[in-house]
Amino acid sequence: MATQMVGRSRWSAERRFYTFMTLAIFVAVYVGFARTFFLRPWFPEFAARMSPPEPFFYFHGAVFTAWFVVLLVQPALVGIGRTDLHKAFGRIGAGVAASVVVVGLIGTVLAGRRPGGFIGVPLPPERFMVIPFTDMALFVILVGAGLVLRRDAQAHKRLMLIGSIAIINAALARWPVVFESGGPVLMFVLADLFLVPLVIWDLKTRGRLHPATLWGGLLVVASQPFRLWLMNTDTWFALAGRLL
């Protein structure tokens, strides 16, 4: 009986942890896009200056929001014991994930082809494109692996979480403190901070990092200096120019 109570307490704590993490990610996205998407009517001047002019980006925002809603709902369904709905909703989530990739790539090219390039970004669009393109690549790798390993609950939930962290750079870049700094380094540091609770959780509950946390986290962190290097190479500049 005592063992069963400890097990229930442990699983309850785990559900609370993942619910908190998904909520924190959702809040980060909401704060980032509040002035240009979620609360646009309340910030008309900022929205007029910083929002994408193409109507496509309303759809873009809706698709990405749908993904983060899926991310938030899934652990809650497990928490209330509705694993049947969790599995059914997971099929919808897989479709939303695929839509995120397609919409994300289209949005990147549309933004890059603007006369002024990416809004609020002083870099040439050919160079800056490496950041959103890599975001999408990481999302495909990590979330794709999470879907393949969906029967391995511990790997699945970590990979889905890390894959979602990999695509919050655009939201973090729009936080006032990051936006005013004018550089991607702070954005990357904030993204990495979302990995820290998962590392602490693993060390506390397992005594070591889960392989999904280790390799998924390393992939995200290692991609950051790689992007900063790649965007300044002539090879990438030429490739991005052809894509545009």
1 in any annotated domain = no
Mean pLDDT lowest among 88-97, 137-146, 198-207, 224-233: 88-97
Q: Are 219 and 134 in contact (CB under 8 A)?
A: no
Dist. CA 228–CA 224, nearest whole Å: 7
Give the angle 141-147-152 at the CA atoms, nearest 5°.
115
User: Which CA distances in Å does 92 have to 34, 50, 156?
Assistant: 26, 32, 16
pLDDT at 182: 59
Confidence tier at 199 by pLDDT (50, 70, 90): very high
13 in any annotated domain = yes
2 in any annotated domain = no
Dist. CA 133–CA 135, nearest whole Å: 5
97 in any annotated domain = yes
Give me the sign of the Cα torsion angle 199, 205, 210, 216. negative
pLDDT for residue 77 is more than 90: no
Q: How many domains does the chain have?
A: 1
Note the pLDDT tens digit of each residue in 1-25: 444 444 444 457 888 899 899 999 9
Which of 74, 76, 53, 72 shows the shortest CA–CA distance to 64? 72
pLDDT at 4: 44
Q: Are 67 and 96 in contact (CB under 8 A)?
A: yes
pLDDT at 119: 87
pLDDT at 15: 85
3 in any annotated domain = no
192 in any annotated domain = yes
pLDDT at 7: 43
Cβ atoms < 10 Å from Cβ of 244: 14
Which whole number is the average pLDDT over 93-107? 95
Confidence tier at 82 by pLDDT (50, 70, 90): confident
57 in any annotated domain = yes
Domain that holds residue 23: 8-243
Q: Which element (helix H / strand E) includes 16? A: helix 2-33
Which whole number is the average pLDDT over 130-145? 97
pLDDT at 101: 97
Cβ atoms < 10 Å from Cβ of 39: 12
pLDDT at 180: 66
Confidence tier at 58 by pLDDT (50, 70, 90): very high
Task: Name the average pLDDT for the chain.
Answer: 90
